[in-house]
């Protein structure tokens, strides 16, 4: 049992919780909570930490405890776990996982694809919600600029509610090059933009499609938006000028799902 916050492994967890550079260097990410452990692919699990006060509870969850026995785990005192945790009310289980890797070319080769392309999104909750909603809508993947918030940010991981394990994603140095590749593959691209002249539900989205979503404050850069085949907009009543990025993405993804389900 780990009993001290001075323990080297505890200090390492704290670094991974707070520093994207450390997570990147060591090729790991953290996921807190029972659900996140239960859904984690076992081949990705590297370490598991349990608060002493939850171990007995998890022993009563047969399938969960069987998985814990396969992966192995370390018990820590509750006050030590509180130091390791990124949440105010920890669930008492923290999983260290190997980072996921995806190949752009493989994703682009998938038929009837649906992508969300994010340029410089900054809110971890927005990104996590887009990934989670994307799984529900059946997207092919999320492609992000390198200036987009870290998907392995603990807040983002929590917001995905496990979808981070199943929705392909990747960061790229140049979204313009991605746009050129999408065009070559016959993927239709749409920029969500206030200057769009047509509403999103007027387009046929049954063929391979990619939606461009910009930064929460500044929207899409003109250079990237102009590379899209079309601008589209979302109807706005009252004095509302725009929607939250995750809400906008959800509307577009589910309109595509609706059209393709008919």
Give the span between the Cα atoms of 123 and 150, in whole angstroms: 9
Number of domains, the chain: 2
Let me know whether 76 and 33 are in one domain. yes
Q: What is the CATH number of the domain that holds 47?
A: 3.30.1330.30
Residue 121: phi and psi, rounded to 5, are: -65, 140
Q: Is residue 81 part of a domain?
A: yes
pLDDT above 90 (res 255):
yes
Let me know whether 154 and 25 are in one domain. no
Q: Is residue 205 part of a domain?
A: yes
The residue out of 56, 78, 98 marking a domain boundary is: 98
**Please, is 254 exposed, middle or buried when counting C-beta atoms within 10 Å of its C-beta (0-12, 13-18, 19+)?**
middle
Q: How confident is the model at residue 129 (pLDDT cuts 50, 70, 90)?
A: very high
pLDDT above 90 (res 178):
yes
* pLDDT at residue 196 in the model: 83
pLDDT tens profile 141-167:
999 999 999 999 999 999 999 999 999
Let me know whether 76 and 187 are in one domain. no
* pLDDT at residue 61 in the model: 92
Q: How confident is the model at residue 219 (pLDDT cuts 50, 70, 90)?
A: very high
* pLDDT at residue 56 in the model: 85
DSSP calls for 136-166: HHT-SEEEEETTSPPTTSHHHHHHHTTGGGT
Q: Is residue 3 part of a domain?
A: no
* pLDDT at residue 243 in the model: 85
Let me know whether 120 and 250 are in one domain. yes
Nearby residues of 203 by Cβ (< 8 Å), 6 or more positions away: 190, 230, 232
Report how far Cα 22 is from the mean position of its chain's Cα atoms: 19
Let me know whether 70 and 147 are in one domain. no
Q: What is the CATH number of the domain that holds 144?
A: 3.40.1280.10
% of the chain beyond a pLDDT of 90: 90
Let me know whether 108 and 84 are in one domain. no
| pTM score | 0.94
Average pLDDT of the residues in 130-149: 98
Let me know whether 129 and 60 are in one domain. no
Q: What is the mean pLDDT of the chain?
A: 96
Average pLDDT of the residues in 13-38: 97
Q: Is residue 75 part of a domain?
A: yes
- C-alpha distances out from residue 44 to 47, 126, 236, Å: 9, 25, 43
Burial profile 17-29: b = 16 or more Cβ within 10 angstroms, e = fewer = beeeeebeeeebb
pLDDT tens profile 31-65:
999 999 999 999 999 999 999 999 888 999 999 99
Grouping H, G, I as helix, E, B as strand and the rest as coil, residue 85 is: coil
Q: Is residue 2 part of a domain?
A: no
The residue out of 98, 127, 149 marking a domain boundary is: 98
Q: Which domain holds residue 59?
A: 8-98
Q: Is residue 185 part of a domain?
A: yes
Let me know whether 241 and 116 are in one domain. yes
pLDDT tens profile 74-113:
999 999 999 999 998 899 999 999 999 999 999 999 999 9
Q: Is residue 144 part of a domain?
A: yes
* pLDDT at residue 252 in the model: 98
Q: Is residue 248 part of a domain?
A: yes
Q: How confident is the model at residue 140 (pLDDT cuts 50, 70, 90)?
A: very high
- C-alpha distances out from residue 46 to 15, 40, 43, 156, Å: 16, 11, 8, 20
pLDDT above 90 (res 234):
yes
Let me know whether 87 and 108 are in one domain. no
Let me know whether 251 and 195 are in one domain. yes
Let me know whether 149 and 179 are in one domain. yes
Grouping H, G, I as helix, E, B as strand and the rest as coil, residue 240 is: coil
* pLDDT at residue 168 in the model: 98
The residue out of 98, 113, 134 marking a domain boundary is: 98
Let me know whether 82 and 187 are in one domain. no
């Amino acid at each position: 049992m780990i009993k001290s916050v001075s323990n080297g492994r505890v200090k390492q967890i704290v670094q991974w919780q707070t520093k994207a550079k450390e997570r990147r260097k060591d090729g790991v990410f953290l996921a807190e909570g029972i659900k996140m452990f239960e859904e984690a692919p076992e081949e990705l699990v590297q370490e598991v930490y349990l608060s002493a006060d939850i171990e007995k509870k998890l022993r009563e969850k047969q399938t969960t405890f069987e998985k814990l026995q396969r992966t192995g785990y370390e018990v820590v005192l509750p006050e030590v776990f509180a130091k390791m945790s990124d949440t105010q009310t920890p669930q008492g289980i923290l999983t260290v996982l190997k980072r996921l890797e995806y190949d752009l070319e493989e994703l682009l080769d998938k038929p009837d694809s649906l992508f969300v392309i994010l340029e410089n999104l900054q809110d971890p909750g927005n990104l996590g919600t887009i990934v989670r909603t994307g799984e529900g809508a059946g997207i092919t993947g999320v492609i992000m600029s390198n200036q987009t918030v870290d998907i392995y940010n603990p807040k983002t991981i929590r917001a995905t509610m496990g979808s981070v394990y199943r929705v392909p994603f990747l960061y790229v140095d140049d979204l313009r090059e991605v746009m050129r590749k999408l065009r070559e593959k016959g993927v239709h691209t749409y920029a969500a933009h206030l200057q769009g002249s047509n509403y999103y539900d007027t387009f046929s989205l049954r063929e391979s499609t990619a939606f461009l979503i910009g930064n929460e404050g500044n929207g899409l850069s003109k250079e990237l938006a102009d590379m899209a085949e079309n601008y589209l907009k979302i109807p706005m009543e009252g004095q509302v000028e725009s929607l939250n990025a995750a809400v906008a993405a959800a509307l577009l993804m589910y309109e595509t799902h609706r059209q393709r389900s008919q």
